[in-house]
């Protein structure tokens, strides 16, 4: 296997499957089975999930809600998604720990960096919920931050698109895919990979990002083995 410790970033929308809202249990089960297959090969896996399938802070702000209040609500949505994935992972036989940036003792552990690393070393899948615990930061930023804190080898951003394109491939049929691209090229071309805070964190810490299609069964394993699918972003 190419990596020892990875951080997988999933969007909240990816959990919807074909639904317009909420959680598709079949999609979550597929993710759990793919994660188990990779974990069984000896990789240490940490996960960050967004909350956009339930609540999106930026959208609520545009409709008049206080931004900080809306962002905290979005953090709670990520915890709901994290609990759903935790349940699915445990149903396929994995040991997990859910750590959140906001204390919720009845359902999860508070995030403590050393504890998170120890869980990974013991072979548990660690899920980080509630973003960074601060408003004005996205779950992309949380993924970059947690990956750096636990010294992950790579950030894998699972999306419904199989990489980074010159334009939105769902809207522009002439868009072409990048196999590899540098952080500087992403800046220069104005491509949308992660929000700027998250992207800059990864660049400054020389942490590579791979954008790939998580919805295709087996892709996660292919990346873990070092196959060149998706798009690699590196310094």
CA pair distance 85, 29, nearest whole angstrom: 8
Helix axes 139-149, 196-204, angle to 10 degrees: 20
Residue 58, annotated ligand binder? no
Residue 9, annotated ligand binder? yes
CB atoms closer than 10 angstroms to residue 30 = 17
Residue 217, annotated ligand binder? no
Residue 123, annotated ligand binder? no
Residue 162, annotated ligand binder? no
Residue 178, annotated ligand binder? no
**Whole-angstrom Cα Rg for the chain:** 17
Residue 159, annotated ligand binder? yes
CB atoms closer than 10 angstroms to residue 2 = 12
DSSP 111: P
Residue 135, annotated ligand binder? yes
Residue 12, annotated ligand binder? yes
Q: Are strands 164-165 and 44-49 parallel, antiparallel or unpaired?
A: unpaired
Residue 158, annotated ligand binder? no
Helix (DSSP H) and strand (DSSP E) numbers for the chain? 8, 11
The alpha carbon dihedral of 33, 35, 40, 41 has a sign of: positive
Residue 114, annotated ligand binder? no
Residue 52, annotated ligand binder? yes
Residue 128, annotated ligand binder? no
Annotated binding-site ranges for ATP: 9-12, 52, 56, 159, 165, 168
Annotated binding-site ranges: 9-12, 51-52, 56, 71, 132-139, 159, 165, 168
Annotated binding-site ranges for UMP: 51, 71, 132-139
């Amino acid at each position: 296997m190419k990596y020892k410790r990875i951080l997988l970033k999933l969007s909240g929308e990816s959990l919807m499957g074909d639904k317009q809202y909420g959680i598709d249990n079949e999609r979550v089960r597929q993710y759990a089975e793919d994660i188990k297959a990779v974990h069984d090969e000896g990789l240490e896996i940490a996960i960050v999930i967004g909350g956009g399938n339930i609540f999106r802070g930026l959208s609520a702000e545009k409709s008049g809600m206080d931004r900080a209040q809306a962002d905290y609500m979005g953090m709670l949505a990520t915890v709901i998604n994290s609990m759903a994935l935790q349940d699915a992972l445990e149903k396929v036989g994995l040991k997990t720990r859910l750590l959140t940036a906001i204390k919720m003792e009845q359902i999860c552990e508070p995030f403590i960096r050393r504890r998170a690393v120890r869980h990974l070393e013991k072979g548990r899948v660690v899920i980080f919920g509630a973003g960074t615990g601060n408003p004005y930061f996205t779950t992309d930023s949380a993924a970059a931050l947690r990956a750096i804190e636990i010294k992950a080898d790579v950030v894998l951003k699972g999306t419904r698109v199989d990489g980074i394109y010159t334009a939105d491939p769902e809207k522009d049929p002439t868009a072409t895919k990048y196999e590899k691209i540098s952080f500087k090229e992403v800046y220069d071309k104005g491509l949308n990979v992660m929000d700027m805070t998250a992207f800059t964190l990864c660049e400054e810490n020389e942490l590579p990002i791979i954008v790939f299609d998580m919805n295709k069964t087996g892709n996660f394993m292919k990346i873990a083995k070092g196959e060149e699918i998706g798009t690699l972003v590196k310094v």
